[in-house]
Each structure stands twice: as structure tokens, then as C-alpha cells.
Amino acid sequence: KLAVDAASESVAAGGSALDGIEVGIRLIESLGSDGSVGLAGRPNAAGYPQLDACIMAGPTRGAGSVGGMEGIVHPITAARRVMDSSKHVMLVGEGARWFALEHGLESVDVSDLDAKKAAWVEREQDPAEPLEKGHDTITLWMLDGNGDLFGGCSTSGAGGKLPGRVGDSPILGAGLFVDNEVGAAGATGVGENVMRYSATTVIVEMMRQGMHPQEACEAMVHRIAAVDPLGYQLDVCFIAIDKQGRTGAAASNQRFPFAVGLGGRSEVRSVEAVERP
């Protein structure tokens, strides 16, 4: 809700919808209030955050993304720079950090990371050492007055992930997909379960065939659960919006909140886990 409100205020003040996406997500990256977004998010197995983010602009078919990036305060801005100022769509790891620094993005000192990596190698030899668990992502879209769609997402990814692991969030068609003709979809949950099914691309395609966003999100959970060895224990959550501004959300195995804003007002809604039919 904080991000939705900040994005709406930015647009009301004259910013573009794309600026709104960046402003809203930057707020959550700064606050660390989600616990899984930005540098205050969840550390990897070596004890420090590696960040994933992406942004998509419907009308231009533009996209930018960063994966496994260290020490950059605003991954969503790095993703936007990749979209606006490079020939590429995705940069990862050291190259993503270098690109962000070259573009003057705010950063923190990462000179202690080698020591953390070394400590992790030692710790890995102790099977009793627990990994931090948990995960979450912020995904934000805007449908502007022209009927154009924009979206972005940002996360520190799954807590305790291996260094170098990239989740679904920066993968277009997995963690986020925007199709300006149809709608947009986003995912949270265990990224490996989302990536293996190109979930947000499929949700958008379901909407293209005429499904309401709610129906498409639920259908995607059932479709994955029907074939995946984990069934409904998958831990995947989807949100979607179509060109008419209709929204939907569905999850397996858990509840999750999302916020919807319209005309300067916003509200938080809750999704119950869908049941096996």
C-alpha cells in the first residue's frame, strides 16, 4: 500500500507511470519494511543480500533487469537504467553492479564480502548450521490514463539462497510480465517454482484468451499444482491486471496481501490459498 500510494502521488504530481513504478518500489527498497526487498532484505547463505529487480514498459516494449547484484541501494533504478541506457535487457552480478556505479547509483561498501564468502564456505561444512528462511517480493504495476501498462518488481530473493542464485523476479515472463495489448502479471513465492512454468507469461496468455485476471491466477495455481511433484504445497502467489483495470490474485499454500489503488484511494486486500478442486 505504501508503494501504491507513493506511485499514485508521483503521477498526480505530474510524473509518468513509469516514474511512479520506480518511485513506489524505491520507497520499499529504502524502508526495508518488507523484510525481503532492498539491502535490508534477506541475506543469502553467505550472509549478505544479492538483489534482483526488473521493470517493463508496455507501450515501448522496453524492459530492463538486474540479477544477483550486490551493494546497490535501488535495484529498480538499476533495472530502469539498463532499459533506458543500454542495448541490453538483463545484467547480472559484478557487471550489474559496475553498470549501476557507472550510472552514479547509490551504493554501499562491499569490501567485506570476500570475508563473508570465506566464512560461508566454513559454515557450509557444518550441516547443523541453519539457513535463514523466508522470502517476498514487491511487484507494482500502473495502468495509466492512456490505457498503457507499466510494471516492476524488486527483491532480495529467498533467504539463505546460494550466492549467485537468481530468482524469478528479474526473469521476464517468470516474476513479471507486461503485455500492453492484454494485461500484466506478477509473482511472489519460491522463484524456482515460478520460473519452471513461465508463470506470468502463461497468466497473460490466459487473459488474452478471455479469462478474468482472477480466473487466470487461480487457473495457473491449479495448472502447476496438477503436474508439479509438490502439488498445492508449491508456495507460489500470483497477481494480475488486465487492460480494463480488473485485478486478480491467487496463491497456493498461504495467504498474502496486495494493494489496489484507484483515483488516489487505495486498499489492502487479502488472498486465501486456493484449494484443490
CB of 35: closest distance to ligand ASP in angstroms?
10
Other Cβ atoms within 10 Å of 12 Cβ, number: 11
| 168 touches ligand ASP by CB under 6 A | yes
| Catalytic entry in 60, 77, 137, 155 | 137
Q: Check if 247 is active-site.
A: no
DSSP string, 75-121: HHHHHHHHHHHSS-SEEEHHHHHHHHHHTT--B---TTHHHHHHHHH
Other Cβ atoms within 10 Å of 114 Cβ, number: 10
Task: List the one residue from 8, 77, 155, 247 that touches ligand ASP (CB under 6 A).
Answer: 155
Task: List the one residue from 57, 158, 176, 249 that touches ligand ASP (CB under 6 A).
Answer: 158
Count of residues of this chain found to bind ligand ASP when the rule CB under 6 A is applied: 13
Task: List the one residue from 44, 50, 77, 169 that touches ligand ASP (CB under 6 A).
Answer: 169
- Count of H helices and E strands in the chain? 8, 11
Rounded alpha-carbon distances, angstroms, from residue 81 to 43, 53, 99: 25, 12, 9
The residues, any chain, with a CB within 8 Å of residue 240's CB and separated by 6 or more, are 183, 184, 185, 186, 203, 204, 207, 213, 214, 216, 217, 247, 248, 249
Rounding to the nearest 10 degrees, give the CA dihedral for residues 114, 161, 87, 102. Answer: -30
CB of 122: closest distance to ligand ASP in angstroms?
25
Looking at 83-91, 124-132, 167-175, 243-251, which segment touches ligand ASP (CB under 6 A)? 167-175
Closest C-alpha among 53, 44, 50, 62 to residue 24: 53
The residues, any chain, with a CB within 8 Å of residue 226's CB and separated by 6 or more, are none
Residue closer to ligand ASP, measured from CB, 158 or 234: 158
The 89-128 site mask, x for binding ligand ASP (CB under 6 A), equals ----------------------------------------
The 181-220 site mask, x for binding ligand ASP (CB under 6 A), equals -------xxxx-----------------------------
| 167 touches ligand ASP by CB under 6 A | yes
| 135 touches ligand ASP by CB under 6 A | yes
Looking at 19-27, 135-143, 251-259, 263-271, which segment touches ligand ASP (CB under 6 A)? 135-143
The C-alpha atoms of residue 176 and residue 68 are separated, in whole angstroms, by 17
Task: List the one residue from 8, 10, 77, 137 that touches ligand ASP (CB under 6 A).
Answer: 137
Q: Are strands 236-242 and 90-92 parallel, antiparallel or unpaired?
A: unpaired
The C-alpha atoms of residue 105 and residue 243 are separated, in whole angstroms, by 33
Task: List the one residue from 38, 151, 157, 186 that touches ligand ASP (CB under 6 A).
Answer: 157
Q: Interface residues with ligand ASP (CB under 6 A)?
A: 135-137, 155, 157-158, 167-169, 188-191
Q: Which amino acids are annotated catalytic? A: 137
